[in-house]
A and B are shown apart, each in its own frame.
Chain A
């Protein structure tokens, strides 16, 4: 039975309008404004060549969950992915997760906290971890680029916050909508998966579109000034999307996701002098201008930046032209009870075509030399292969089972 819910009407009508407005804005490549052209009631299409939530202009909130698969067979796994795809497609369109269930005696199919809320540009992005390919006869399909990340200098990784067979990245402007998505997927997966770890993020720390202003991270600095933008399609094809010449075939149009939970030593950072902070980063704090420049988007003169500054070490020129698409979120998980300090920082997410050529060398350089290391530590890490987009009627990763 399908009822006409207020949410569906709202979603469909508003989605149509907003899609048009958004599309116009996107094509015109409007610069400078803070992205208020987006409507809260907009919904991002689920199906397409690529999964949404990568090139999509970053939403305000994140819920990121890693799962371990307990299913006993490839068939069960496939069934799970089919169910998850269906639920994600409905939720991103502003609908309830499951068919409407009226029975008083059965638990409701949708948990209900998103009823009446706008779609809020919800995107749900799925990824497969290296450990998944150890089972279900998938060994032959493992992408060469998906072997686990090596130990990197400065890592203080907590195994309980790292790894995972599967991941779900839910981004939305309304935190309740993002949470509702992950919670319902976790519920649908009971019996086939168990949650391994889960991270909430508030406040985006990157710009993936020219229509968005550069946000600030918890260190007070603008973050993502020099990020790849979704509009730069050649850069996206070169650095982010797995290409037609790459293998395996089922990953073409997909990408690789690296997630790093980076804890900031807030109390220590806050007592650093302004000059220290700016020299650590390589930019002015308030304007975001690179040292030696005067405006945020002034071209960077590497020689004007301290040799161990973050921006210089991370710059593509320092790294043989390698770049990554950053799409992270600030997080706080309250207080660390052991030390009485804030547990907060950056949940760093990046997308690239080959993590071992891009993220790993960059981070190796940073981990060895970055002055920023005095104020941060990497406490969680995970790598996932993000399959290409889903066509209507298909399910995410179906190329794996073909």
Chain B
């Protein structure tokens, strides 16, 4: 709430200041008639900014996950740039602002009509408004409590208008210089948080894969659920477990800019403005370029901490409206990275390398302007490239010559870990987004809406539950049922479930909802740093099916909402994803086992499909003994061969 209040206050004061000065000038010059046109201009500018903000927000919500993260990164970076420029400019110019404005105004008036002045007011408000909109959007993206954030913005605006009016009237004098310096310092810290977040969303969008190892554990300082933690995260963007990239970005931005803002004038060693400005601008450029280089340098072969390096060849593939370009590829065997970019093809967003009908490697969601890579070890032979949606050249050929390449078990195991890690991050991302939505409706008291969103929020958690359980107390905090923990300590999804379905009310749930959101964000942070072994991944698949046998098929998990079958499907989907990560290894070492497991996954899906209703499943209470038995036996039939996989993967 504080960041939105401060930005709205500051931008609002700036805008009110300029508008007030211009209005005073018009009155003084006897041009009161132009005042109404000026206000009209101001109103249009405000309207335009709101429209831009709404458009950006809608665009953000309608994009697929990866593009959403991309847009949020861009918005975040623009916000940082705008805020930085504004802070620096105001730092230098606060003292001379009024005089400069008046000079400009009289020049404008002298040269012609009041139109120029009106234009100035319009442009000033537009500029401030656009900065505010972008900044507010960036902060909104990152907050759990959009109501409070919105309230803060409105309060800040209201305060700004009041201050602006009082200044205009001359009833209040403010040391503008100090006002802008203090607010500038606070905003610099907030902007540093935005830099860190932008680096994070850039990673989610797949643009930035470097420096992903965990730098610090700040949970002692920014512990979720504490007031201090909420303040520090909300205001300064400090994450509980920032990565190296995020921590560096935060520091490299915050230190120089805060120093610049806070530096007392009397200490300034230089007189002229240019070196200072050049220094800051140059420093920022160096920082940004450095980060990009560091990030992109390790994104070639996969995510930073897991990539095995190696001398992979890079091949550039462009997606065009026709399809894949080049359509005919001739390559030598060996490790190869395909760098796929989209050159303006709206209908073509995928690139696949296939052998017969089997897809050996692919990238998806390569929208216009984006690029993604994937790696394969190419063996000699003839393959087909496929860019679905292309007109004319959607299928091409890939001829690989040379000697056969021995793939080491090591690369396969690494690939398994990489693949499953990507899945984990995808799921935790979904979990955070859906829990944010769910808990905000809970806090707003929307029982009906909250109930509708409950199942969707449960799904990503149930898909990765064993991983959550490996982090100690996180699982009980998020998923404990009544009686598992003392009543006073019961938090997470299920006390909310109880309130919504049994009490029919969301009152008194504020703290629990807030803690749940903090806990899933902590889970997301922990997942980023987790160490994974292939046998662990395989074990996780077996454990997920154990979950089904223990609590989903018995109806023990969702005691009030009875959506156990939704959780059931999620557990199975999670098990399948874990198995798919190690399946190439299993396939190579025991093809029959791989096929057997695939067959039984299909059988479970078929058995479960009978109970679908709408977008979900029938209530658990509708299942007969015979229904439960069939499902239970299908799970047993799948889990038995699956239990053999860990030994196969390691042995």
The residues of A with any CB-CB pair to B shorter than 8 Å are: 70, 103, 105-107, 187, 190-191, 194-195
Contact = CB atoms under 8 A, between A and B. Distances in A.
Contacts of B147: none
Interface string B627-651: 0000001001110110110110011
Contact of A191 (B535, B641, B646, B647): B641
Given A103-B651, A105-B651, A194 B643 contact: no
Nearest to A192: B637
Contacts of B650: 105
Contacts, number: 29
26 contacts: A70-B633, A70-B637, A103-B647, A105-B535, A105-B646, A105-B647, A105-B650, A105-B651, A106-B643, A106-B644, A106-B646, A107-B643, A107-B644, A187-B640, A190-B636, A190-B637, A190-B640, A191-B596, A191-B600, A191-B638, A191-B640, A191-B641, A194-B633, A194-B636, A194-B637, A195-B633
Nearest to A188: B640
B637 A191 contact: yes
B2 to A, nearest CB: 52
B623 to A, nearest CB: 16
Contacts of B640: 187, 190-191
A219 B487 CA distance: 52
Task: Identify the 7 closest CB pairs spanning chains A and B, nearest first.
Answer: A106-B647, A105-B647, A190-B640, A194-B633, A191-B637, A105-B646, A103-B647
A225 B89 CA distance: 111
A305 B535 CA distance: 72
Interface of B: 535, 596, 600, 633, 636-638, 640-641, 643-644, 646-647, 650-651
A363 B596 CA distance: 45
A interface secondary structure, majority: loop
Contacts of B651: 103, 105
Contacts of B641: 191
A106 B641 CA distance: 10
A44 to B, nearest CB: 29
Nearest to B597: A191
A72 to B, nearest CB: 8
Nearest to B644: A106
Contacts of A107: 643-644
B68 to A, nearest CB: 40
Of A105, A187, A195, most B-chain CB atoms within 10 Å:
A105
Nearest to A106: B647
Contacts of B535: 105
B606 to A, nearest CB: 12
Contacts of A105: 535, 646-647, 650-651
B160 to A, nearest CB: 65
A190 B600 CA distance: 11
Contacts of B636: 190, 194
A195 B640 CA distance: 15
Nearest to B643: A107
A103 B648 CA distance: 10
A270 B647 CA distance: 57
A287 B436 CA distance: 80
A105 B636 CA distance: 19
Nearest to A104: B647
A105 B644 CA distance: 8
Contacts of B643: 106-107
Of A70, A106, A187, most B-chain CB atoms within 10 Å:
A106
Contacts of B633: 70, 194-195
A70 to B, nearest CB: 7
A106 B640 CA distance: 11
Nearest to A70: B637
A187 B638 CA distance: 12
Of B596, B636, B641, most A-chain CB atoms within 10 Å:
B636
B610 to A, nearest CB: 16
Given A70-B637, A187-B640, 20 more contacts: A70-B633, A103-B651, A105-B535, A105-B647, A105-B651, A106-B643, A106-B644, A106-B646, A106-B647, A107-B643, A107-B644, A191-B596, A191-B600, A191-B637, A191-B640, A191-B641, A194-B633, A194-B636, A194-B637, A195-B633
Of A70, A187, A190, most B-chain CB atoms within 10 Å:
A190
A86 B637 CA distance: 21
A79 B135 CA distance: 68
A195 B637 CA distance: 11
A351 B406 CA distance: 62
Nearest to B651: A103
Of A70, A190, A191, most B-chain CB atoms within 10 Å:
A191
Contacts of A106: 643-644, 646-647
